[in-house]
């Protein structure tokens, strides 16, 4: 269902014509980009047609007499998928409407609204219902969402394909297929929809950053010029960067590793990067903060009271619930970091696992990073899609360290021979922390900063 008080966003939803004939529905996902189902625009040759006609009706939303906007739109190269049944077109003329907000988060049994131009009323009507399944098998491009219409059988939905499936004001999917009776009406009200995350992930693979989840949040742009100076850890950084810039459905980065494997360096460097991008950060290191109270004081100190409220006099357990409510109303990108998780007190562990994790979909702006020799079990999360679990190992690749040295000490001539020498002299067994210490000694020697006569 739409959010109470919000109008159906008709100005951002278009009736699609192919060769002058009404074929389906599409909606804006960026100021001039529209997505629809692939099968809506599939030509006789099995390929997507290159040009379609669009008709937007802003008056249906604003009721102020605005004229309809008609424009052609051209298929974006490589931005379509037969497998996931979507295709993206660029409008020749801007429809002057807000793109719909996309979200990767959706739960079963939530009510939805799907405005489109099905045969029931080609002038535009909405079907409503609930999300019956998040994991419906599909011959290609599955799994997909299974939807149950409130109106059950007999609704003429041909022409509604490609319509947005809106939950709480955000698009979670686009309509794909319906079970139809011999008259073209819905049979049992069963419909399938392509999760919008397939569209976002697929498009961002081709053109990183082209689409964002929760675009009502002003996400920062990635900036490789200020990327962290760490050896290797490319996958971790790539995923982290996508999370804090709104490009990934993943929300939790778990960094697990033994002593000396560079967890805290990673935390510090990633924190600095996020800070430079303007992300608000709450951080606590459980090495020194051993009770839930001091951890929350640390969060508050680092993020400020706007983000993490102060406890009221006498407020105890309810405070920690209130923090989540408060965070849910925060609208800027936010990063919550906990380091040294193995030292987590029970009450903090419970707060994270039983309160914070299950409510992540209330906080689309939030990324959580937890590091430690142990990390929390993501039992209360859809671990496969929401969690990135990284297990830090040794870094035995010479080029990774050479690259690191060149960035860390750009004017010091540390060469391959030095790095190889250290790695192989240690039988490739140095932890990253020890490797860094030895390279730091080498650079001190090479730059003449080493004191003399100090050997044991």
Partner 1 sequence: MTIDDILASLRQAKGDPQLLALATVDSVLATHRPELRAALEAAAIPHWFNHQILGSLLRLGDSEVAASFETLTSLPFVEQYGDGVNFNVHEATRLAIGRRLESQEPERLVKIVSPDRRKPEGRIP
Name which of 153 and 373 has its Cβ closer to partner 1.
Answer: 373
Distance in Å, CB of 426 to partner 1, minimum: 5
Distance in Å, CB of 430 to partner 1, minimum: 6
Name which of 259 and 411 has its Cβ closer to partner 1.
Answer: 259
Q: Is the dihedral of CA 303, 309, 310, 316 positive or negative?
A: negative
Instruction: Give the burial class of 449: count Cβ atoms within 10 A of its Cβ; 0-12 exposed, 13-18 middle, 19 or more buried.
Output: exposed
Name which of 178 and 231 has its Cβ closer to partner 1.
Answer: 231
Contact 26, 10 (CB under 8 A): no
Name which of 29 and 282 has its Cβ closer to partner 1.
Answer: 282
Closest CA to 215 of 328, 102, 105, 327: 102
Name which of 44 and 451 has its Cβ closer to partner 1.
Answer: 451
Strands of 280-285's sheet, edge to edge?
Answer: 280-285, 334-339, 366-372, 252-256, 387-391
Distance in Å, CB of 374 to partner 1, minimum: 14
Name which of 207 and 447 has its Cβ closer to partner 1.
Answer: 447
Contact 423, 401 (CB under 8 A): yes
Name which of 367 and 443 has its Cβ closer to partner 1.
Answer: 443
Q: Which tokens in the block code for residue 352?
A: 């994270």
Distance in Å, CB of 357 to partner 1, minimum: 26
- What is the DSSP pairing of strand 86-91 with strand 111-116? unpaired
How far apart CA 332 and CA 306 sit, in angstroms, is 11
Contact residues for partner 1 (CB under 8 A)?
259-260, 264, 285, 287-289, 418, 421-422, 425-427, 429-431, 433-434, 436-438, 440-442, 444-445, 449-456
Distance in Å, CB of 371 to partner 1, minimum: 13
How far apart CA 3 and CA 169 sit, in angstroms, is 5
Name which of 244 and 394 has its Cβ closer to partner 1.
Answer: 394
Distance in Å, CB of 289 to partner 1, minimum: 7
Distance in Å, CB of 244 to partner 1, minimum: 23
Long-range contacts of 433-442 (CB under 8 A, 24+ apart): 433/260, 433/261, 433/262, 433/265, 434/260, 435/231, 435/395, 435/401, 436/231, 436/262, 436/265, 439/401, 439/404, 439/405, 439/414, 442/414, 442/418
How far apart CA 59 and CA 279 sit, in angstroms, is 38
Distance in Å, CB of 97 to partner 1, minimum: 50
Distance in Å, CB of 326 to partner 1, minimum: 24
Contact 194, 153 (CB under 8 A): no
* CA–CA distances in Å: residue 35 to residues 24, 98, 117: 11, 14, 15
Q: Which tokens in the block code for residue 401?
A: 């360290």
Name which of 325 and 440 has its Cβ closer to partner 1.
Answer: 440
């Amino acid at each position: 269902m739409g959010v109470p008080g919000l109008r159906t966003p008709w100005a951002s939803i278009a009736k699609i014509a192919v060769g002058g004939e009404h074929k389906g529905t599409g909606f804006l996902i960026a100021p001039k980009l529209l997505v629809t189902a692939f099968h809506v625009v599939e030509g006789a040759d099995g390929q997507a047609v290159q040009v379609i006609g669009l008709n937007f009706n802003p008056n249906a939303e604003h009721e102020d007499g605005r004229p309809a906007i008609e424009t052609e739109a051209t298929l974006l190269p490589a931005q379509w998928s037969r497998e996931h049944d979507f295709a993206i077109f660029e409008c020749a003329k801007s429809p002057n409407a807000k793109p719909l907000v996309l979200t990767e988060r959706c739960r079963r049994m939530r009510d939805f609204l799907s405005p489109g131009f099905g045969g029931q009323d080609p002038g535009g009507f909405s079907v409503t219902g609930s999300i019956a399944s998040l994991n419906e098998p599909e011959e290609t491009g599955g799994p997909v969402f299974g939807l149950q219409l409130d109106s059950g059988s007999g609704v003429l939905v041909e022409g509604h394909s490609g319509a947005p499936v809106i939950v709480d004001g955000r698009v979670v999917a686009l309509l794909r297929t319906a079970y139809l009776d011999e008259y073209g009406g819905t049979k049992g009200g069963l419909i399938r929809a392509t999760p919008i995350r397939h569209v976002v992930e697929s498009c961002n693979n081709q053109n990183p950053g082209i689409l964002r989840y929760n675009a009502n949040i002003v996400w920062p742009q990635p900036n490789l010029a200020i990327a962290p100076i760490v050896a290797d850890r490319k996958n971790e950084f790539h995923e982290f960067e996508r999370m804090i810039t709104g490009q990934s459905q993943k929300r939790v980065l778990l960094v697990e590793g033994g002593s000396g494997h560079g967890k805290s360096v990673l935390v510090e460097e990633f924190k600095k990067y996020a800070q430079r991008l303007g992300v608000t950060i709450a951080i606590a290191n459980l090495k020194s903060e051993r009770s839930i109270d001091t951890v929350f004081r640390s969060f508050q100190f680092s993020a400020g009271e706007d983000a993490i409220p102060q406890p009221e006099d006498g407020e105890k357990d309810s405070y920690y619930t209130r923090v989540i409510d408060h965070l849910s109303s925060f609208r800027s990108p936010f990063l919550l970091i906990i380091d040294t998780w193995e030292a987590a007190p029970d009450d903090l562990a419970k707060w994270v696992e039983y309160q914070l994790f299950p409510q992540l979909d209330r906080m689309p702006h939030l990324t959580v990073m937890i590091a430690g020799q142990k990390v929390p079990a993501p039992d209360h999360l859809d671990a496969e899609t929401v969690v990135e679990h990284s297990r830090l190992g040794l870094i035995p690749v010479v080029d990774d360290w050479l690259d690191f040295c060149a960035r860390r000490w750009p004017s010091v001539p540390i060469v391959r021979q030095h790095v190889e020498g250290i790695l192989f002299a240690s039988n490739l067994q140095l932890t990253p922390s020890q490797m860094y210490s030895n390279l730091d000694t080498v650079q001190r020697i090479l730059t003449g900063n080493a004191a003399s006569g100090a050997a044991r």
